[in-house]
Each structure stands twice: as C-alpha cells, then as structure tokens.
Amino acid sequence: MDFTLYHFLRPLMHAMAAEGHDVVGVCADGDLVDAVRAEGFRVETAPLVRSINPVRNMRSGIALRKLFACEKFDLVHVHTPAAAFVGRLAAAQAGVPRIVYTAHGFYFHENMPFPKRQAHIAAEWLAGRATHTLFTQSEEDAATARLLHLCRTGDISAIGNGSDPDVFRPADDCLTRARLRAEIGTPEDRVVVLMTGRLVAEKGYRELIAAMRDVDAELWAVGARLESDHASGIEDVINSIAGDAALAGRIRFLGYRQDMPDLMRAADIFTLPSHREGMPRSIIEAMLTGLPVVATDIRGSREEVVDGETGLLVPVKAPAALARALQSLTADPARRTRMGDAGLERARALYDEKLVIDRQLDHLGLRAG
C-alpha cells in the first residue's frame, strides 16, 4: 500500500539512494504516492491488494512480473504479506537476481486457528522457495523462520525495528503538552492513556474500551480504518460510547494524525493491546518519548517491553488484566517515571532507526565502494 511506502519505507529508500543506487518504489495507487515522488523517488503503481483472493492476486502478479522483466532490477525487496507473496513469485519468474523479503511480522500467529495458521505457513514456505534473503524484525520471528525453513537459502536475519530518536524524544517544555490538551479538551492534571493503530478489532480496541471502565484516566485513540482493511471493524463500539455514562467524555477518537510525537509527549501512558504484531514501531516511539508501555504478551511486543521494568505485559483479550495494569500506572506517577526512563534508555540503545537501516545495507552489500 502507499501507506506502507510512505510511513515505513522512505528512510530505507533514502539510505539506499544516498549510497548511489537507483531506487524505485512499487505500491498500489493512493493519496500518498505523490508525497513519496515529491522526495525525488520514482514510484510505479501496480494493482496490489490486501487480500487472499486468488484472482485479484494473480492480476497483481502478472502486472509485477511485466514490470520486473521490463525494469531488469538487480534486487527486489518486498514488504507486507500479500505483496510479498505475489512479489516474490513475480520477481522469480522475471529472473530477478536477488529477492529480499522483510517480514514485518508473519501473518500466522499463536492465537490463530490451526487450519488457518497452517495455510498461511504453507504460503510463506512456498514463497520462500523464491527468496534469497529473509529479514524479520523480531528475533522470535527469525527463529520461527529457521525452524520452518521459510527461506530456501537459509539466509535469515533479525534486523529489529526502530524510529528516529531526534523526532520521538521526551518533552523539553510544557507548552506543547498544554496546547494539545487544551485543543483536545483534556484537563492538564488528568492522566492520559494513548493508543495508536488502525481502527480494527485485532488491535485490541474492544478490550481496551472495556478496560477503561475501571481506569481513572482518559483515552486518546489515534488512527483510522484504511480502505483496504478486511479485518473486523469496531464501529459498533465507537457508536455505543456516546450513550455510555461511564465512558462518554473519557474516550476520544482523534482520527489520523500527523503530530504523533507531540501527542506522545502530551500523554502519560502508552498501550497497545493487539492480538498480533510484528515488532510494533508505535511501542518503540512511545519508549523513545519516555512513556511507560502496557502491551499484550505477543511476539514483537514482548521483545520490546521488559515486563515490570519498562512497562507491563498482559494476556491477549483480557480486559480485566489490561485494566489492572493501566490503573496501577495511573495511580503511581513515580512508577510511570521510572518505567518511562528505563524504556527511553532501552529504546535509544536498541531501536534507533539508523541501526536497522545500517544492518540491511551491510547485509545486502549496498555500501558504496
């Protein structure tokens, strides 16, 4: 999707271009394509879809194969499950010399029904026959990929995930916090829990809304549902809040925002109660901002959050446990500060975006000279 290209891949594209390489972005058409082009990149659009529909994916694969054969790329680097599946097969058919896949979190996970899980594993194994290098973000996913032989060459590495510590950093004054809270209508002394993610059920919104009944704080939910989303929505939950005296006035859906660093600096706690993740960047950004994190005990998140030190981990789909964790931090400012400081130190040491990009450039031999 253009969303992925714009929000997640531009730093890597800029780093490869800085090493002297000709970098071309390929994604579905969308509003953000021109924003990537405005930074000097050529972007080709293709009929890519977030779907397992075989007919639609066949159409995507044919278009990609024609593009790859015409362009004669030296390397094709694919991201996200559906595009990665058709992209790898298309690149192999077009004779691309090196095919690289970054798994931002395998779609299959431990909470998925067994038949569905096995079907997704089979698809990853099949596409792995056309994969020369497989990057994962989490160490857990790398171990899984090795165990299941998801790359035919065995060239599998965990590269981590990261963000820019110069953008996501603790507040250096109180003015932005006060301004944002005033704009949103949140009192300065109220504890704010921040959640960011697509407005779909698998992000844990249902459990979070239920948990907030027992948390003496306000929730800011940042995100929107993408047009390409096939996951279950939460419209019924959102619509029910206005008539709920226990929640109305304390739950604010802020939509898609461009000012996430400032919003994080104006919040007190970050939470991500997802059912599945890869290695979520939002947790890293919260840690870099100095926020304690409450997350579900799932792959990726449990690699980032040190339970009891930088935040708290709770079971998946457990609103009571989530409420206890959030309330424990809401009621203890000193503990929030200790965990936030520990998370900041950990994130600066492990999750600087530059480290992740450098690992890829080095591994792929893309350094100039």
- The reported pLDDT for the residue numbered 167 is 96
Q: Tell me the DSSP string of 81-116.
A: HHHHHHHHHHHHHTT-SEEEEEESS-S--TTS-HHH
- The reported pLDDT for the residue numbered 243 is 84
- The reported pLDDT for the residue numbered 308 is 98
- The reported pLDDT for the residue numbered 229 is 63
Q: Which of 61, 94, 84, 90 is nearest to 133 (CA)?
A: 84
Task: Kindly state the average pLDDT of the residues 264-284.
Answer: 96
Instruction: Catalogue all structural domains in the chain, each as residue range(s) with its CATH number.
Output: 2-162+353-363 (3.40.50.2000), 175-350 (3.40.50.2000)
Residue 224 has pLDDT above 90, yes or no: no
Residues 129/149, Cβ–Cβ less than 8 Å: no
Task: Kindly state the average pLDDT of the residues 115-133.
Answer: 96
Would you place residue 112 in the very low, low, confident or very high pLDDT band (cuts 50, 70, 90)?
confident
Residue 37 has pLDDT above 80, yes or no: yes
* Tokens standing for residue 331: 């009621």
- Angle (CA) 366-367-368 rounded to 5° is 115
Residue 73 has pLDDT above 70, yes or no: yes
Task: Kindly state the average pLDDT of the residues 217-237.
Answer: 84
Task: Kindly state the average pLDDT of the residues 135-150.
Answer: 96
- The reported pLDDT for the residue numbered 225 is 80
Residue 242 has pLDDT above 90, yes or no: no
- The reported pLDDT for the residue numbered 52 is 79
Residue 107 has pLDDT above 70, yes or no: yes
Task: Kindly state the average pLDDT of the residues 12-39.
Answer: 97
Residues 43/27, Cβ–Cβ less than 8 Å: yes
Residue 365 has pLDDT above 90, yes or no: yes
- The reported pLDDT for the residue numbered 53 is 82
Which pTM was predicted?
A: 0.89
Residue 226 has pLDDT above 80, yes or no: no
Residue 345 has pLDDT above 90, yes or no: yes
Task: Kindly state the average pLDDT of the residues 244-267.
Answer: 93
- The reported pLDDT for the residue numbered 230 is 64
Residue 42 has pLDDT above 90, yes or no: yes
Residue of 43 and 242 predicted with greater confidence: 43
Question: Mean of the per-residue pLDDT values for the chain?
Answer: 94
Percent of the chain with pLDDT over 70: 98
- CB within 8 Å of 196: residues ≥ 6 apart: 221, 222, 223, 260, 272, 282
Residue whose entry in the numeric block shows the structure tokens 């032989």: 149
Task: Kindly state the average pLDDT of the residues 27-44.
Answer: 97
Would you place residue 228 in the very low, low, confident or very high pLDDT band (cuts 50, 70, 90)?
low
> Is 28 in a helix, a strand, or coil?
coil
* CA-based end-to-end distance of the chain: 33
- The reported pLDDT for the residue numbered 135 is 98
Q: How far is CA 251 from CA 215, 268, 286, 295, in A?
A: 11, 15, 20, 19
Q: Which of 341, 265, 273 is nearest to 313 (CA)?
A: 273
Q: Which of 352, 357, 273 is nearest to 102 (CA)?
A: 357
- The reported pLDDT for the residue numbered 136 is 97
Phi and psi, residue 163, nearest 5°: -145, 180
Residue 49 has pLDDT above 90, yes or no: no
Task: Kindly state the average pLDDT of the residues 148-163.
Answer: 97
Percent of the chain with pLDDT over 90: 85
